[in-house]
């Protein structure tokens, strides 16, 4: 049996997920330079461990956090994605650059300039030609397809055409979008369910005018559930910080309004 490469790096998150982690980091640290240990705490982790290092590595691989002498800080690319409006050229260029940043994604897109093959064919390609384990190949396939779908949702020229061909490749514009049903079409997520795969959507009414939504898509493992618990904790902390800031601003505004109507001393 051929030897499988275990040391090659690939992102454990799709770009969609990595942007959300970056947003959580920015909500807490802004543009500050922090240690990796402090960085993962913005996602609900207590320390650097296997799960937190995979998340940190993925965000770095998309170029959303940059290394600064052993510390990390948010990158200019990430600030563009988080703060610019989606219709701007800077935003779209930054998003496309991030999608191609992971080396394995760039290799796949260069190899398949006309579009991705089926899930089965791409996993087979990664196992046979790139020597990834089958488990790693499936994770890469899922992360790449969600990344391309995410880019397509947010960029003008990808709204109608094949996403992979617009992230670099040969640099040539296609004459027309692929025909409906073509083998180069990237199916929208979630993909067809496989044995053991789960796609579930949960909606929670928090109050009369506030709802929360959770979508779980993919082959869920026990480790995934542990990571989900940590991520939800991190999201709650970010929301709590936002609520505190809003309430403080509203309180300051009320205090200012009440003070403006008070009589001056000596009147």
- Supply the pLDDT for residue 83: 98
Q: Quick one: tokens of 15?
A: 């770009």
Among positive and negative, which fits the CA dihedral 40, 43, 47, 51?
Answer: negative
- Supply the pLDDT for residue 220: 66
Q: Quick check: 127 and 137 in contact, CB under 8 A?
A: yes
Q: 57 preceded by cis ω (within 30°)?
A: no
Consecutive H or E run containing 201: strand 198-207
- Supply the pLDDT for residue 17: 98
As averages over each run of 10 residues, the pLDDT of the chain (267 residues) reads 60 98 98 98 97 98 98 98 96 98 97 95 97 97 98 72 51 40 38 47 63 70 64 68 76 70 48
Q: Quick check: 216 and 200 in contact, CB under 8 A?
A: yes
Range 211-223 burial, b when 16+ CB lie within 10 A, else e: eeeeeebbeeeee
DSSP H stretches of helix in 155-190: none
Q: Which residues fall within 8 angstroms of residue 214, CB to CB, at 6 or more apart?
A: 201, 202, 204
* Cα–Cα distance, 145 to 186 (Å, whole number): 7
- 3-class SS at 230? helix
- Supply the pLDDT for residue 106: 97
Length, in residues, of the chain: 267
Q: What is the dihedral angle through the alpha carbons of 182, 186, 190, 193, rounded to the nearest 10 degrees?
A: 50
- Supply the pLDDT for residue 5: 46
Distance of CA 42 to the CA centre of its chain: 15
């Amino acid at each position: 049996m051929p030897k499988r490469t275990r040391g090659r790096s690939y992102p454990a998150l799709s770009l969609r997920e990595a942007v959300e982690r970056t947003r959580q980091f920015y909500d807490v640290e802004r543009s500050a330079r922090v240690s990796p240990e402090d960085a993962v705490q913005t996602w609900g982790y207590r320390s650097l461990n296997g799960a937190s290092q995979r998340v940190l590595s993925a965000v770095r691989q998309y170029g959303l956090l940059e290394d600064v002498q052993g510390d990390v800080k948010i990158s200019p690319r990430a600030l563009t994605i988080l703060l610019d409006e989606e219709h701007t050229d800077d935003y779209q260029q930054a998003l496309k650059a991030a999608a191609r940043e992971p080396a394995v994604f760039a290799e796949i897109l260069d190899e398949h300039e006309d579009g991705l093959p089926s899930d089965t064919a791409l996993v087979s390609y990664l196992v046979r030609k790139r020597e990834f384990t089958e488990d790693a190949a499936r994770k890469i396939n899922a992360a790449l397809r969600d990344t391309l779908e995410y880019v397509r949702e947010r960029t003008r020229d990808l709204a109608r055409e094949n996403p992979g061909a617009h992230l670099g490749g040969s640099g040539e514009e296609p004459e027309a979008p692929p025909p409906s049903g073509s083998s180069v079409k990237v199916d929208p997520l979630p993909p067809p369910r496989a044995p053991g795969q789960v796609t579930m959507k949960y909606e929670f009414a928090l109050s009369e005018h506030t709802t929360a939504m959770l979508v779980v898509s993919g082959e869920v493992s026990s480790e995934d559930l542990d990571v989900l618990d940590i991520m939800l904790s991190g999201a709650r902390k970010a929301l709590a910080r936002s609520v505190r800031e809003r309430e403080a601003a509203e309180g300051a505004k009320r205090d200012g309004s009440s003070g403006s109507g008070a009589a001056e001393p000596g009147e």
